Amino acid sequence: MKPRNSLFLGLCTLLLTSSGMWSCIGGSNNSGKAAPNLNAQLRQLIREHGLTGDPAKGRLLPSINDPLAQLGMKLFFTKGLGGNMDAACVSCHHPVFGGSDGLSLPIGVDAVDPDLIGPGRLHQAGAHGFDGGPTVPRNSPATFNVALWDSSLFWDSRVESLGKSAGFNGGDGYGIRTPDTPFGEADLMAGTNLAAAQSRFPVTSPEEMRAFTFEAGNDNTAVRDHLVARLGDFGIGAGELPGNTWLNEFQTAFSSSAGAEELITFERVVEAIGAYERSQTFVDNPWKDFVEGDQNAISRSAKRGAILFFKPVEDGGAGCVQCHSGDFFTDEQHYNIAVPQVGRGKGDGGTGTDDFGRFRETGQSEDMYAFRTPSLLNLAVSGPYGHSGAYTSLEAMVRHHLDVETAIANYDTSQLDPTVQTGDWQVNSQAALNDLLQKRVLGIQTVMNCVLNEQEFQDLMAFLDALNDPCVLDRQCLDPWIPDGSVSDPDGQRLNGKDQFGQPL
C-alpha cells in the first residue's frame, strides 16, 4: 500500500501534531505548477461537490415588486413596530450593509440617534442597561439571501425547520420550532417559512425593538397584539399612530376589503416582512458565472483559491468546504471554532458574559460554543465577522480558521470599536478554545490547523471575493429595496437611515 503522503499533490506536507490532528504546511511553489490544469481541476471539484453555482435554483422567491414584498419593506423600515417607536428592523439590517449593520454588535432601542445606522450608532447614556457599549450580544447576520436557509435561522438556530426537506425553507409540513415553543416542538403560529417565523421575535426583544417599558411584564402575545392594534388604530393601540394608512396598505397587499381588526394581524405582518426579506436574493456573482461555464469569469488567483477551498486539508487544501458546503457555502450545522467572545454575552459561564451558542438550545456537550456555519456570499459588505463580530477584517476572520490557538493568543481588541465590551474576552475565549481542543481529541468536527503561504492565502481571499454579487456594492442597484420619497410612508415613522456624517444611506 502506498504511504498516505504520496497521494497528496505536493501542495503540502502533513504533520501529525501533538494534539493528534493532521496539520497542513503549505508548499510554496506549487500554485504555479498546477496552473495549466486549473480549469480542469476546478471543474472536477465542482462536479464532485455537485455544485450548480446557483443556490436559488428551483426556489419560488418573491420579487421586490410584489405587493406583499412592498408592504413588507414598509413594515421593515417603520419605527412604528418598535415599542417606543425608536427602532425598526432596518436599524440592524440595512441593504447597504448587505442586510446587516456594519457593527460588531448592534444597538437597537435607546440609540442616541435612532436614524443613524452603522458605525457611530451609540447607546444613550443613562438609558436602561447603559454600560457605554452595544446592548445586543450577537453580531447582526445579513438578511440578504435569507430565503436560502433550509434548516434554521439565528446563530444558534433557535428558529428551526423540523422537517429539513431541502429547498422548502421550513414549509414542508413538519413545522418550525421557535423560541415560543420547547425544543423540538412546532410553533403553530410560525407561518410558512423561516423568515416569517423569525420576524415574530425582534419586536419582543427589549434590547432590539420592544424597549423596557412597552407591555412590561407581559408575554410575547401581548406585545404583538398591541403592535397590530397600533398599526390598525384599534383597541389598545388606537391613536398611537394618528392618521396612519396601514389599513389601505394591507388591503392592497392582500387584495382584501376587510377591516383593520380582521386584516391587520401579526401573522400578516410577518408574512409581508418575510416576503420582503425573501426578495433580497443576491447570488449573481462571478463564481456562479464560472460554475455555469464562463471560464474567464474569475481570475487565476481565485481559481487557485477555489481549489484550496474545496480540497481537504489532508489533500493539500484548506478544507473550508467541510463546513461551508454547497452552492450557499454552508452545511447549516454548528461548530465550535472559538471565535473570540466579546460583548455582553448571553449570561453564560462564570463571567456571565459568555455565550454557549447552540448548547443553549440543545444542552448537548458537542454543541458547546457551537454556532451555525455562515454562508460566504457577499462578505464584502456584511462584516464585521463571526457570531460576536470579533473580527472587523475578513482577512483576520479567515486567518483565525487556519490556526485558532495563535489567533486567540494574538487577538487584537483594538480592531473593535472602543465601546465594545472586552473585559472578559480572554477568559471566555480561552474556555471556548479549551473546548475546541478537547473536541479535536474526541474527533468532533472543528477547524484544522493549516499553514498557507502568502500567495495561497491571497488566492483564497480572491476566491471569497468572487462570491460577491456586484449589486450589493452598488447603491443604485439596491434602490428597489430602500424606500425613497416615491414610496408611501404609511405612519410617518419611516427610518430613513443616515451614516455618522449625516449622509443618507
Binding site for ligand HEC (CB under 6 A): 87, 89, 91-93, 106, 108, 136, 138, 140-141, 143, 146, 153-156, 195, 198-199, 202-203, 208-209, 273, 277, 318-320, 322-324, 335, 337, 339, 371, 373-374, 376, 379, 382, 385-387, 394, 397-398, 401-402, 445-447, 460
Helix ranges restricted to H, 141-193: none
Residue closer to ligand HEC, measured from CB, 141 or 345: 141
Q: In terms of C-beta distances under 8 Å and separation of at least 24 residues, what long-range contacts does 490-493 make, across chains too?
A: 490/74, 490/78, 490/244, 490/245, 490/246, 490/248, 490/249, 491/78, 491/80, 491/231, 491/241, 491/244, 491/245, 491/246, 492/241, 492/244, 493/78, 493/79, 493/80, 493/85, 493/88, 493/241
User: Among 143, 136, 130, which Cα is nearest to 106's?
Assistant: 136
Q: How far apart are CA 312 and CA 261, in angstroms?
A: 57
The label of the residue with cell 460566504 reads 376
Residue closer to ligand HEC, measured from CB, 12 or 87: 87
CB of 336 to ligand HEC, least distance (A): 7
User: Is residue 350 a contact partner of residue 427, using CB atoms and an 8 Å limit?
Assistant: yes
Residue closer to ligand HEC, measured from CB, 293 or 425: 425
Q: Which residues of 357-393 are buried (b: 16+ CB within 10 A; e: fewer)?
A: bbbebbeeebbbbbbbbbbbbbbbbbbbbbbbbbbbe
CB of 313 to ligand HEC, least distance (A): 8
Residue 7, number of CB atoms within 10 A of its CB: 10
User: Among 430, 328, 385, which Cα is nearest to 103's?
Assistant: 385
User: Is residue 240 a contact partner of residue 310, using CB atoms and an 8 Å limit?
Assistant: no
Residue closer to ligand HEC, measured from CB, 138 or 344: 138
CB of 110 to ligand HEC, least distance (A): 10
CB of 246 to ligand HEC, least distance (A): 15
Residue closer to ligand HEC, measured from CB, 312 or 480: 312
Q: How far apart are CA 336 and CA 355, in angstroms?
A: 11
Residue closer to ligand HEC, measured from CB, 304 or 401: 401
SS3 498: strand
Residue closer to ligand HEC, measured from CB, 3 or 182: 182
CB of 272 to ligand HEC, least distance (A): 10
Report the chain's terminal Cα–Cα distance, integer Å: 62
Residue closer to ligand HEC, measured from CB, 211 or 323: 323
CB of 87 to ligand HEC, least distance (A): 5
Residue closer to ligand HEC, measured from CB, 189 or 447: 447
CB of 492 to ligand HEC, least distance (A): 19
CB of 171 to ligand HEC, least distance (A): 16
CB of 353 to ligand HEC, least distance (A): 15
What string of DSSP letters covers 219-238? Answer: -HHHHHHHHHHHHHT-GGGT
User: Is residue 495 a contact partner of residue 86, using CB atoms and an 8 Å limit?
Assistant: no
